[in-house]
């Protein structure tokens, strides 16, 4: 994940595992892990709006502040964290240290100043220190389009389709979960005080998860609110809050007409010593409140990450 100083970089950490059959899973743990640990990072990385005082130089200023994206991007993120609820269960919680290695390649075939289509390939691996049954590998491909629809570039709309496959690395590459996510997201970025590098980012995300097995088919309505303060260009500090309403469509023996309210909060510090590398430390907490009480859960997770990015 790129951590340029003019991007709002906030991190959030969360954990996964595949529970034994006697446990009732609140989520598909693998998919939930990547939604929290990988997807949420990109949600809060909208650039600050351009500040142009001379109308005659407006277009030039925008080009300087927001150059076209590079055609090829390769990045890796190495994350180390601790979770007190590996299996997302309401009872009998299992704690463990964990490692997430993420490797991403993206291609921008064509773009204009306001429109950027992108194809992204990503591989993720999660390994737990004391809960090996939760280890998984993930491959996914995403097709996205981002459009900037305001002259100050404060508003963006992103539509994406993400196809994911999750496998168990210790069981002959067995695919235990697959999903297609149809996502629409609108973000707004605002510099709160002129002359001070303090930014507010708000977003709304509507996403439908078509899952296999279908127990986890759901529609998410998610808001996100974050602050990012840059005391120096290389350092960002700030909190993020993300409330979400989740509606499930499949009734089973352990869930019926299920609706959840999920609330996640985190605080992140990111240092970007150069455009190719970043180091982050974050602390997060999540509560999931379900009308099927056995599906409710909470977790607390501190973590650190190292990121490297190359673009051309």
HEC letters along the chain: CCCCCCCCCCCCCCCCCCCCCCCCCCCCHHHHHHHHHHHHHHHCCCCCCCCCCCHHHHHHHHHHHCCCCCCEEEEEEEEEEEECCCCCCCCCCCCEEEEEEEEEEEECCCCCCCEEEEEEEEEEEEEECCCHHHCEEEEEEEEEEEEECCCCCCEEEEEEEEEEEEEECCCCCEEEEEEEEEEEEEEEEEEEECCEEEEEEEEEEEEEEEEECHHHCEEEEEEEEEEEEEEECCEEEEEEEEEEEEEECCCCCCCCCCEEEEEEEEEEEEEEEECCEEEEEEEEEEEEEECCHHHCEEEEEEEEEEEEEEEC
The neighbour count for residue 6, using CB atoms within 10 Å, is 12
pLDDT number for residue 39: 57
pLDDT number for residue 30: 75
Percent above pLDDT 70 for the chain? 79
Determine the Cα–Cα distance for residues 232 and 224; give it in Å rounded to an integer: 25
Residue 15 lies in a domain: no
pLDDT tens profile 78-90: 999 999 998 888 8
pLDDT tier at 238 (50, 70, 90 boundaries)? very high
Number of domains in the chain: 1
Residue 182 lies in a domain: yes
Residue 244 lies in a domain: yes
Please state the rounded mean pLDDT for residues 244-249. 97
94 neighbors 85 (Cβ within 8 angstroms): yes
pLDDT number for residue 10: 32
Residue 14 lies in a domain: no
Beta bridge partners of 281: 269, 304
Give the chain's radius of gyration (CA, Å): 19
Beta bridge partners of 184: 159, 206
Flag whether pLDDT at 52 surpasses 70: no
pLDDT tier at 15 (50, 70, 90 boundaries)? very low
pLDDT tens profile 153-190: 899 999 999 999 999 987 677 889 999 999 999 999 99
Please state the rounded mean pLDDT for residues 101-115. 95
Q: Token pair of 161, please?
A: 């389709």
Flag whether pLDDT at 63 surpasses 50: no
Flag whether pLDDT at 64 surpasses 60: no
- Give me the chain's average pLDDT, please: 83
Please state the rounded mean pLDDT for residues 105-118. 95
Residue 13 lies in a domain: no
pLDDT tier at 12 (50, 70, 90 boundaries)? very low
Least confident of 19-23, 55-59, 78-82, 263-267: 19-23
Residue 16 lies in a domain: no
Residue 233 lies in a domain: yes
295 by Cβ neighbours in 10 Å (0-12 / 13-18 / 19+) ranks as buried
Range of the domain at 192: 29-311
pLDDT tier at 243 (50, 70, 90 boundaries)? very high
CATH number at residue 40: 2.40.160.40
């Amino acid at each position: 994940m790129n951590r340029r100083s003019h991007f709002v970089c906030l991190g959030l950490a969360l954990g996964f595992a595949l529970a034994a059959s006697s446990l009732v899973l609140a989520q598909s743990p693998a998919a939930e892990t990547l939604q929290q640990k990988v997807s949420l990072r990109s949600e809060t990385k909208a650039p600050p709006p351009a500040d142009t005082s001379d109308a005659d130089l407006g277009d030039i200023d925008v080009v300087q502040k927001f150059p076209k994206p590079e055609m090829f991007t390769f990045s890796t993120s190495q994350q180390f964290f601790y979770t007190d609820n590996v299996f997302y269960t309401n009872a009998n919680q299992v704690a463990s240290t964990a490692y997430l290695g993420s490797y991403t390649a993206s291609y921008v075939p064509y773009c204009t100043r306001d429109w950027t289509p992108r194809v992204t390939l990503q591989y993720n691996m999660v390994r737990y220190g004391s809960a090996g049954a939760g280890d998984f590998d993930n491959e996914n491909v995403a097709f996205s389009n981002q459009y900037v629809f305001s002259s100050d570039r404060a508003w963006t709309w992103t539509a994406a389709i993400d196809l994911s496959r999750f496998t168990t690395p210790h069981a002959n590459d067995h695919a235990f979960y697959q999903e297609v996510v149809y996502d629409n997201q609108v973000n707004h970025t605002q510099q709160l005080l002129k002359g001070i590098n303090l930014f507010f980012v708000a977003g709304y995300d509507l996403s439908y998860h078509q899952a296999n097995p279908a127990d986890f088919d759901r529609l998410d309505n998610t808001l996100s609110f974050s602050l990012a303060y840059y005391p120096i260009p290389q350092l960002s500090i700030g909190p993020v809050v993300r409330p979400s309403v989740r509606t499930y469509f499949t009734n089973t023996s352990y869930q019926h007409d299920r609706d959840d309210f999920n609330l996640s909060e985190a605080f992140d510090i990111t240092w970007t010593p150069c455009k190719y590398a970043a180091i982050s430390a974050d602390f997060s907490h999540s509560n999931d409140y379900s009308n099927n009480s056995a599906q409710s859960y909470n977790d607390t997770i501190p973590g650190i990450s190292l990121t490297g990015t190359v673009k051309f």
